[in-house]
Structure 1
């Protein structure tokens, strides 16, 4: 899964996905000299926050 796809899944910026990789929350895989991907199963396995009344969804 491309970082952009993972970011869209979580409704976050792709830099957030990169941070999660650096923090160890996700595993990043280099599939080319400049191409970083994550596993779809791993992304879908992360908990997603539930929007609250005060948050914009």
Structure 2
């Protein structure tokens, strides 16, 4: 029996922003900085793989004394 591959889940920018509790603008910045891969579907739609979003690095703010 052949092994079954999982179909990747793709999110819109709005869904990705909501999942990460950030703004759509932040998601766009991550894409532009190369921190988050994105895929164009059609002429305008941009989608992000859920697995890429889950592994996206998140900056932790630090306190300077």
Using structure 1 for the length normalisation, give the TM-score: 0.76
The CA deviation at 1:3 is: 0.6
Q: Does 1:19 align with 2:41?
A: no
Match of 2:49 in 1: 39
When normalised by structure 2's length, the TM-score is 0.68
How far apart in 1 are the matches of 2:37 and 2:59?
A: 20
Give me the CA root mean square deviation.
1.6
Determine which structure has the larger helix proportion and give its number.
Answer: 1
Quickly say closer, same or farther: Cα 1:23–1:40, change in 2 above 3 A.
same
Shift of 1:46: 2.2
Report the count of equivalent residues.
Answer: 50
Partner in structure 1 of residue 12 of structure 2: 2
